[in-house]
């Protein structure tokens, strides 16, 4: 069993204030946590700054594990595995924006909620995260892969420890076609047409 006093959690502030469900989980979980540096438009840089601060400030004070949780992560019962499981590199299985970009299983890695030991982070080179190239695709690739590859090159593989939800906006409509009487759509999938006059 991990000594929970050795875990320091950070929420990258670039993803906004902790959602209500994450706030409830943090209140019920005996680990120290704080917001990372404020950077509304550079989530990848914010992740790197949090790791730098953790290594230079928290590790000398006795912390051994960094737990990074995005503000829009929704913990459920299985998410508790991320604090109770032993290991140097753990992450919660997750789904990316609008359900795209799934990270699951022991050979993958996802950033939504992960825990890394100080020794793994010290051996990996700064920057830990690299922004993926801009793409014209709607589902932009994420920064998880850069971290996974750097860790893997040093012989560290992430293990999946539970799963975490990802708070997303969706839209419900009444629907006579559905047996439930309603249906759901992602906002980005809704079609729009210009209305002509006359």
Which positions touch Zn ion (CB under 5 A)? 101, 142, 144
Q: What is the DSSP string of 76-101?
A: -GGGGHHHHS--SEEEEEB--GGG-S
User: Residue 48: CB partners within 8 Å, gap ≥ 6?
Assistant: 126, 127, 128, 129
Nearer to Zn ion, 31 or 131 (CB): 131
Minimum CB separation of residue 194 from Zn ion in Å reads 35
Minimum CB separation of residue 57 from Zn ion in Å reads 27
Minimum CB separation of residue 109 from Zn ion in Å reads 8
Nearer to Zn ion, 37 or 101 (CB): 101
Q: Can you list the pairs that 178-186 forms with residues at least 24 positions away whose Cβ atoms lie under 8 Å?
A: 186/98, 186/99
> How far apart are the C-alpha atoms of 50 and 9, rounded to whole Å?
10
Q: What are the helix (H) ranges across the chain?
A: 20-28, 43-53, 81-84, 118-123, 144-153
Nearer to Zn ion, 8 or 146 (CB): 146
Minimum CB separation of residue 68 from Zn ion in Å reads 13
Residue 82 and residue 165 in contact, taking contact as beta carbons nearer than 8 Å: no
Nearer to Zn ion, 118 or 151 (CB): 151
């Amino acid at each position: 069993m991990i000594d929970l006093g050795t875990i320091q959690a950070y929420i990258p502030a670039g993803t906004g204030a902790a959602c209500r469900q994450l706030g409830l989980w943090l209140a019920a979980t005996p680990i120290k946590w704080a917001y990372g540096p404020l950077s509304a438009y550079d989530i990848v840089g914010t992740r790197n700054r949090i790791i730098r601060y953790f290594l230079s400030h928290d590790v000398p004070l006795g912390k051994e594990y960094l737990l990074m949780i995005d503000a829009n992560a929704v913990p459920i019962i299985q998410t508790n595995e991320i604090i109770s499981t032993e290991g140097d590199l753990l992450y919660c299985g997750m789904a990316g924006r609008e359900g795209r970009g799934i990270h699951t299983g022991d050979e993958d890695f996802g950033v939504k909620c992960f825990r890394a030991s100080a020794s793994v982070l010290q051996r990996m080179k700064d920057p830990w995260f690299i922004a993926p190239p801009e793409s014209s695709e709607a589902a932009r690739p994420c920064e998880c892969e850069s971290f996974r590859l750097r860790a893997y090159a040093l012989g560290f593989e992430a293990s999946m420890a539970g799963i975490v939800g990802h708070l997303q906006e969706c839209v419900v409509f009444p629907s006579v076609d559905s047996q439930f009487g309603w249906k759901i759509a992602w906002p980005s999938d809704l079609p729009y047409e210009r209305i002509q006059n006359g």
